[in-house]
Amino acid sequence: MTIQTIIEPFRIKTVEPLRMTTRGEREQILAKAGHNLFNVRAEDVLIDLLTDSGTSAMSARQWAGLIDGDESYAGARSFYRFEKAVKDLTGLKHIIPTHQGRAAEKILFTILGGPGKIIPNNTHFDTTRANIEVSGAEAADLPVKEALIPSLVKDFKGNMDIAGLERLLKQKGPEQVPLVMMTVTNNSCAGQPVSMGCIRRVSELCHSYGIPFFIDACRFAENAWFVKTREPGCRGRSVTQLAQEMFSYADGCIMSGKKDGLVNIGGFLAVNDDELARKARNILIVTEGFPTYGGLAGRDLEAFAQGLEEVVDEDYLRYRIRSIEYVVEKLDAAGVPVFKPAGGHAIYLDATSFLPHVPPHEFPGHALACALYIEGGIRSCEIGSVMFGKNDPRTGAFQPALLELVRLAIPRRVYTQSHMDYVVECVGEVFAKRDAIRGVRIIQEPPVLRHFTATFQPL
């Protein structure tokens, strides 16, 4: 008999107790939070799957790095270690640290965005879209058609619709398209990977129009693992080599270290263009800090550099991707509508099929996320019409999101297999009682990124 179980490739040195709550307590907590899980205190959550962002457990070496960090204002050793780690990985020339990913986005789109511009992506992440729109530019999503069919099993559902991109570039040209982005893995499309072939072809297409190609690299290592295990001819190559090849096609990238940097805070912008780097550093000094620390402490840069080394460990990635797939397999076997195949950092429930009696304008994903909290103290995140739905500015008509999903994001190196078994049971329990779940309506909402602060009422 061969041993099949892929174990967590680490042991636990520091523990953080979880606080149990009762269903009655959770009902009160949720009502007090305006039925928005972002307003619930973390200590009132049992299993927190709100996001995989900034929630990683750091390694002993990263904690050691915090003590070892060089806090000099200018020219700190920790910056040079960080810069080398990012250069070795990306091959890009200018490495600009920021406090997190969106600060890099803000700087980039302040320079390259603006009214009349249009910026395509396989699918923009919410803060990326918001930063583009705040600059006055338009954010265009070009996912492949298969991305919109949750039950369809295909290898690279995160890819970009290349024919669609070509049409857009032909029509708008470099005057209106200042850059093209590719998000790996495709967070807003269920963490699905992008193939190396797609990255290469999109890069070539952009360059044929003289348009720079950027990668939103938050989950580059998870993407590289999928490329290694799924794309023909890639199995024999290391994740590091594959990641390096991926970045070799790019003129720049942004990254939130809170994902595959395995840190709790940090990000960067990296570019080859000297003039763009000069402008970016000028903004950085005003909004983030001096170029050798950006918005970070020396210790953060130290931990980030170490995290970038640890995240490409293939034993880690094998466990990481398997731990997501494990939950998807169990839910699928129980008949729960779940986005397939398993993505890199999260399990996505298909709320449209889960709650067919709740129409998009009653926010089925949001209603499901609330039900999961009440059932088992699990905090998840709606990725659907609360996050991406809109009301037409002229007619006021409701425009739903393309998909109504609930994301169970798995923090890196934090929860064990028995935590995941508990999650599977809770989702199964909610599924059994799904007919009783009602939709919600919005009571109050801010003008942008409403999912963070809006309040709701069950119908």
Ligand X SMILES: *Cc1c(COP(=O)(O)O)cnc(C)c1O
- Angle at CA of residue 335, ends 333 and 340, nearest 5°: 75
Is residue 128 involved in binding ligand X (CB under 6 A)?
Answer: yes
Locate tokens 């930063």: which residue?
131
Q: Do the Cβ atoms of 164 and 142 come closer than 8 Å?
A: yes
Is residue 337 involved in binding ligand X (CB under 6 A)?
Answer: no
For residue 115, what are the contacts with CB-CB under 8 A and spacing of at least 6?
136, 137
26-34, 84-92, 238-246, 256-264 -> range binding ligand X (CB under 6 A) = 256-264
- Exactly one of 216, 300, 310, 350 binds ligand X (CB under 6 A); that residue is 216
- Exactly one of 90, 100, 159, 264 binds ligand X (CB under 6 A); that residue is 100
Nearer Cβ to ligand X, position 191 or 360?
A: 191
In DSSP terms, 383 is beta-bridged to 405
Nearer Cβ to ligand X, position 53 or 203?
A: 53
- Exactly one of 125, 214, 220, 415 binds ligand X (CB under 6 A); that residue is 125
Q: What is the number of the residue whose Cβ is closest to ligand X?
A: 101
In whole angstroms, give the CA distance from residue 38 to residue 215. 28
Is residue 264 involved in binding ligand X (CB under 6 A)?
Answer: no
Nearer Cβ to ligand X, position 172 or 192?
A: 192
Is residue 55 involved in binding ligand X (CB under 6 A)?
Answer: no
Is residue 287 involved in binding ligand X (CB under 6 A)?
Answer: no
Is residue 267 involved in binding ligand X (CB under 6 A)?
Answer: yes
Interface mask toward ligand X for 60-99; x: CB under 6 A: ----------------------------------------
Is residue 330 involved in binding ligand X (CB under 6 A)?
Answer: no
Is residue 218 involved in binding ligand X (CB under 6 A)?
Answer: yes
**How many residues can be counted in the chain?**
459
- Angle at CA of residue 67, ends 65 and 69, nearest 5°: 65
Site residues for ligand X, 6-35, by CB under 6 A, read none
- Interface with ligand X: number of residues (CB under 6 A): 15
**Is the link from the previous residue into 341 a cis peptide, with omega within 30 of 0?**
yes
Q: Which amino acid is at 113?
A: G
In whole angstroms, give the CA distance from residue 366 to residue 374. 13
Could you report how far apart the first and last alpha carbons of the chain are, in Å? 54
Token code pair at residue 101: 């990913």
Is residue 187 involved in binding ligand X (CB under 6 A)?
Answer: yes
Q: Which amino acid is at 211?
A: I
SS3 percent helix, strand, coil of the chain, rounded to 5, is 45, 15, 40
In DSSP terms, 182 is beta-bridged to 215
Is residue 183 involved in binding ligand X (CB under 6 A)?
Answer: yes
Q: Smallest distance, Å, CB 158 to ligand X?
A: 11
Q: Smallest distance, Å, CB 100 to ligand X?
A: 3
In DSSP terms, 103 is beta-bridged to none
Locate tokens 């500015």: which residue?
393
- Exactly one of 81, 157, 172, 258 binds ligand X (CB under 6 A); that residue is 258
Q: Point out which residues bind ligand X (CB under 6 A).
A: 53, 100-102, 125, 127-128, 183, 187, 216, 218, 256, 258-259, 267
